[in-house]
Structure 1
Amino acid sequence: MGYLRHGIADDHDVFEIEMPTNELASNRMNEVRMALYPTFINTSQKLRNPNKKTKLVAWRDFYGDGDFCKEKGFIPYQTYYKAQRSLEKPISEVRTPVGVDVKYHPMESKEERIKYTELENQFYQGVVYRSVNMLEWMMGGPELHTISAFEGDELVGSVMCWQTGAVERLFVIPRWRNKELGKFLITKGFEYHLKNGRMNVETLVNELDEEGKLLLESMGYSFPVKLELFALGIN
């Protein structure tokens, strides 16, 4: 199976590829990838913005395909850390910031999902991306729990939780930063996972996101796993 995901960036198009293979292909992996790869290239060429540069990106060895991507000319592009935390460690109390209402955000209407996606994409560009269609696809899965902060009717911050133990997609609008809203949202994510019997949480953070790493570190995360993202220009 192969996946192609279209990302968002100011100056270029990004297409993330994944080629997961199972035990049935254990001795034919490169053959499978050779069959899938031309379709990725052709589809990217059809979907790309002709006025932008285009990058095809893949996680290095996420599915054991590092050598394949290297042979195709992929080079280092970005580095991420998988931040992890055990919920057996004490969780510091964070007070609810005054002036916001923090609650479960089911996004039941199309209008809510559009507003959420438009705001979220202001803070996540490049390989980490979201469209309304992808959000709706994710909401149809076994579990997606979104916790959001509202100032009146305005969405000012949010975080998502998954059954895998993920606490991710955190964002806070600029005027609500440095008021511990981000910490409070993360804490609510911890509480959600504890309620559902999970004792470990994780998230991805870009190596260059010093502010994000400091926030996660202050919330008890460590960064034991390094993930390399490789890219190939296909203009």
Structure 2
Amino acid sequence: MKENRGDTMTADVDFSVRSYNEQDWDSVVQLYKKLIKNEEDVIYWWPGPEHTWEDVHCLFNNKSMIAKGQVQVINMISEDYQGDANHLIYLNIKVDPDWENDKEVRDILYERLLQRAKLLKSKLPPQYPAKLCVGNYATEIKENAYFESKGFKHFESLYWMHMEADKSLPSSNFKLTSVDIKHWDIDTCEEEIKYLQAENEIWPENPTGLERLREYKSKPYWTSITAFHNEEIIGSVMAWKETDESIGTIENVFVKPDWRKRGLASHLIIEGIRHLQDCNLKQVQLLVETKNESALKLYQSIGFEIEKEEKRFWIDI
């Protein structure tokens, strides 16, 4: 029996959906290859460790994978946090280009992931609200339109910026001898709390939280380059290698207001890049809000270039 589903005529439609298992890896890779051949740039989540596989759902037609979706708590607000903030749960859905006009395919995965997100929310500290979020490149027009049709509202846009790791770097003009800058392992619970308290002053509505901090620390070649004045944290940057890629990431760049416009941010970023150069990586990347003109100019002055734009949307759950 044939059915007309969107713009595609298909035969013997027999959908089934289940959680990911290791036998699905080749199908996941093939789905990615079809997507980048069709669109070149897509935000594609790879299945993580086995304990997360319940959050990865695969949709099959006649035993062939035609779509994959994942959901993950990206930002959990700790119970002792003093401030207004949201838990952030992100999802990602990708559909085989041959099925991209079939709304039912996305609907099946979305409903499964929505229920899974609600279950994850039920395990988070209940005093904070939760947002279900999605991020896709601006060029992923059909994906973004689908989520807007589900009531998701645009809340931020980000530029992905990159530079070649072997690019020559500008010299730093930061001269204050009273500031101690060092690679800081943030080893103890007391040091983790000290770091998070300093960072929360900068991003009170989007704190990193202990769980995400420890996730960052588990990344290959992770380091924190942190500036202290009289043992107080006044600025910091993190750097690490992306798993299974020759790409380094610069993340969580901040300088406290009283210490800005002195060249400290540039100095910290350059030190982070040098760390990644020592790791023999090919590229360095970072994310910046499109409306943050001062940060954008800073990164461009160091040598970063805008590569692509990501749009993010959310709903309350």
Q: TM-score, normalised by structure 2?
A: 0.63
Match of 1:132, as an amino acid? L
Partner-residue secondary structure (3-state), 2:300 = helix
Deviations 1:192-225 (A, max 9, x none): 1111112321111111212211211221211121
Deviates more, 1:197-206 or 1:69-78: 69-78
Distance between the aligned counterparts of 2:93 and 2:216, measured in 1? 19
Going from structure 1 to structure 2, the CA distance change for 1:96 and 1:199 (only over 3 Å counts) comes to: farther
> May I ask how many residue pairs the two structures share in their alignment?
230
Amino acid at match of 1:39: R
Q: Which residue identity is paired with 2:258?
A: R
Secondary structure (helix, strand or coil) at the match of 1:19 reads: strand
Q: Report Cα offsets for 1:88-124 as digits up to 9, x if no partner.
A: 3321111443121111100111101101011112223
User: Any idea what SS the aligned residue of 1:197 has?
Assistant: coil
Preserved contact between residue 75 and residue 209 of structure 2 (Cα < 8 Å)? no
The amino acid across from 1:232 in the alignment is I
Larger CA deviation: 155-164 vs 32-41: 32-41
Paired residue for 2:108, among 19, 27, 31? 31
Question: Larger relative CO (CA 8 A, sep 6+): 1 or 2?
Answer: 1
Equivalent residue for 1:138, pick from 194, 201, 216: 216
Query: Is the alpha carbon distance of 1:110 and 1:167 closer, same or farther for their aligned partners in structure 2, counting shifts above 3 Å?
Result: same
Alignment match of 2:134 (pick from 58, 71, 81): 58
Deviations 1:61-95 (A, max 9, x none): 69985455234211222111112122333211114
Could you state the TM-score of these two structures normalised by the residue count of structure 1?
A: 0.83
User: 66, 89, 97: which one pairs with 1:16?
Assistant: 89
Aligned to 1:168: 251
Q: Does the CA-based 8 Å contact 1:82-1:202 persist in structure 2?
A: yes
> CA distance change for structure 1 residues 22 and 114 in 2, over 3 Å: closer, same or farther?
farther
Out of 211, 214, 218, which is 2:297 matched to?
214
Where in structure 2 are there 5+ consecutive unaligned residues? 1-55, 57-70, 243-247
Shift of the 121–141 alpha-carbon distance from structure 1 to 2, 3 Å rule, reads: same
In structure 2, the partner of 1:200 is 283
Deviating 4+ runs (over 4 angstroms): 7-12, 20-23, 26-30, 45-50, 61-65
Bigger shift: residues 216-225 or 60-69: 60-69
Match of 1:75 in 2: 153
- The DSSP-based 3-state class of the residue aligned with 1:156 is strand
The structure with the larger Rg is: 2
> Residue 189 of structure 1: CA displacement?
1.0
Q: Any conservation in 2 of the 1:30–1:68 contact (CA below 8 Å)? A: no
8 Å contact from structure 1 (residues 159, 170) kept in 2: yes
Q: Structure 1 residues 15, 31: CA separation in 2 closer, same or farther (over 3 Å shift)?
A: same
Identity fraction in percent: 23
Q: Is residue 2:117 matched to residue 1:40?
A: yes
8 Å Cα contact 1:84-1:223 kept in structure 2? yes
Give, as a single letter, the amino acid of the residue that structure 1 aligns with 2:191.
E
Report if aligned partners of 2:174, 2:262 keep a CA contact under 8 Å in 1. Answer: no
Look up the match of 1:187: 270
- Partner of 2:164 in structure 1? 86
Change (3 A) 1:125 1:82: farther
